[in-house]
């Protein structure tokens, strides 16, 4: 069971309520966002939106593995970054990667969606192995169609928000479901508004990224990733480009997603977040998993001297 989370999301403004009033699903999501109490006793404290809940319960019964990484090796020229990583995330788990700068956290995340191709090892998403051909540095995807399809099932959120500057926030969120997944516009619009409501910025739907704060842009990026209905959310330092106050807005959204039972692989330097949110914490050191375990094990009964040193430097 996850630890209890601290803090409560602040209710949004009257302006927001008015703006979302014309979208029932956005209104419902915005209310959920406003009412979300991060002190709630656990995963089942709040009723979930029906489709998510039904799908989640179905998957939870099986405890299916969503991400499975086996013996992963990745190097850049002479630099061996990942030296044999085994990692898995089951449905509803939040797996958090921690480690010092350069330890290979982003590289590992980028191997999950094949933005980087590993020289050795395999990646499975929801039981399907990503097929690679060739050897060592010549290794490459066997089927670009498979890569595109699998990528369209992974929600990526980066440190830099990577929103399209020429598109409104709503169009940013609708882009992938319309263009990649070729879904119905009206249905996608309804869902996109609901996702914007969920992250608390439905009133910003018609604005452009440059008109939003960093925290709002990152929440828009999260809504965009959610709108493809991903099997897993991959976060790479989602809060590290933000001021502490804006950081909290994003942290609270990530906590909300964890409470909903979203499967996530999260890279973060925020040890408070790692401690409160994680089903499993993985400490990477020089391309290897130096220690992993539950939050209580890793933070409360640390075994590795290197991890102790790392946590002490981070103030833990
Ligand atoms: N495309 C690349 N070409 C060459 N070297 C790279 C490339 N990407 C990463 N590296 C190197 O690989 C190592 C691991 O980088 P990575 O970005 O995975 O670290 P990280 O743990 O995410 O660090 P940080 O906490 O600073 O984000 C670093 O030494 C980095 O310089
Ligand atoms: Mg990184």
Taking only the tens place, the pLDDT of each residue in 146-179 is: 999 999 999 999 988 899 999 999 999 999 999 9
Q: Residue 136 domain-assigned?
A: yes
The mean pLDDT of 137-143, rounded to a whole number, is 94
Q: Residue 58 domain-assigned?
A: no
> What's the number of domains the chain is made of?
1
Q: Residue 231 domain-assigned?
A: yes
HSE of 93 in the Cβ direction (CA atoms, 13 Å)?
A: 22
Confidence label for 316 from pLDDT (cuts 50, 70 and 90)? confident
Q: Residue 256 sits in a domain of what CATH number?
A: 3.40.50.300
Q: Residue 29 domain-assigned?
A: no
The mean pLDDT of 262-276, rounded to a whole number, is 95
Cα 97 to ligand 1 centre (Å): 14
> What pLDDT is recorded for position 62?
56
Q: What is the CA radius of gyration of the chain?
A: 19
Cα 188 to ligand 2 centre (Å): 32
Q: Residue 49 domain-assigned?
A: no
Q: Residue 249 domain-assigned?
A: yes
268 lines ligand 1 (CB under 6 A): no
The CA–CA distances, whole Å, from 14 to 20, 120, 210 equal 10, 54, 23
> What pLDDT is recorded for position 2?
40
Helix, strand or coil, per DSSP, at residue 113 = coil
Q: Residue 191 domain-assigned?
A: no
> What pLDDT is recorded for position 25?
65
Cα 25 to ligand 2 centre (Å): 35
- Structural domain of 162: 64-184+203-313
Taking only the tens place, the pLDDT of each residue in 193-222 is: 999 999 999 999 999 999 999 999 999 999
> What pLDDT is recorded for position 315?
85
Q: Whose CA is nearest to atom 30 of ligand 1?
A: 102
Taking only the tens place, the pLDDT of each residue in 3-51 is: 333 333 444 444 445 545 556 666 667 666 666 554 443 332 333 344 4
Q: Are 300 and 277 in contact (CB under 8 A)?
A: no
**157 DSSP β-pair partners:** 235
Mean pLDDT of the chain: 86
101 lines ligand 1 (CB under 6 A): yes
The mean pLDDT of 85-108, rounded to a whole number, is 97
Q: Residue 33 domain-assigned?
A: no
């Amino acid at each position: 069971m996850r630890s209890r989370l601290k803090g409560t999301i602040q209710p949004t403004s009257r302006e927001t309520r008015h703006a979302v009033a014309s979208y029932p699903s956005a209104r419902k999501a915005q209310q959920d966002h406003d009412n979300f109490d991060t002190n709630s006793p656990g995963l089942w404290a709040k009723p979930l939106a029906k489709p998510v809940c039904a799908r989640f319960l179905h998957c939870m019964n099986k405890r299916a593995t969503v991400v499975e990484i086996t013996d992963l090796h990745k190097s850049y020229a002479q630099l061996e970054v990942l030296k044999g990583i085994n990692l898995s995330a089951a449905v509803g788990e939040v797996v958090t990667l921690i480690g010092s700068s350069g330890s290979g956290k982003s590289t590992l995340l980028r191997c999950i969606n094949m933005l980087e191709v590993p020289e050795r090892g395999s990646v499975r998403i929801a039981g399907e192995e990503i097929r690679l051909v060739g050897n060592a540095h010549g290794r490459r995807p066997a089927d670009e169609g498979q890569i595109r399809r699998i990528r369209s099932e992974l929600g990526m959120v980066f440190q830099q928000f990577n929103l399209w500057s020429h598109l409104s926030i709503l169009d940013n969120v609708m882009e992938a479901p319309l263009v990649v997944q070729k879904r119905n516009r009206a249905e996608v619009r309804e869902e996109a508004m609901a996702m914007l409501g969920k992250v608390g910025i439905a009133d910003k739907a018609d604005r452009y990224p440059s008109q939003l704060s960093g925290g709002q842009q990152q929440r828009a990026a999260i809504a965009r990733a959610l709108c493809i209905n991903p099997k897993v959310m991959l976060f790479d330092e989602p809060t590290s480009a933000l001021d502490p106050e804006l950081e909290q807005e994003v942290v609270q959204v990530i906590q909300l997603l964890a409470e909903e039972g979203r499967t996530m692989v999260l890279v973060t330097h925020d040890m408070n977040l790692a401690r409160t949110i994680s089903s499993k914490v993985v400490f990477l050191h020089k391309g290897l998993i130096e220690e992993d375990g539950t939050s209580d094990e890793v933070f409360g009964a640390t075994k590795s001297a290197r991890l102790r040193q790392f946590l002490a430097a981070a103030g833990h």
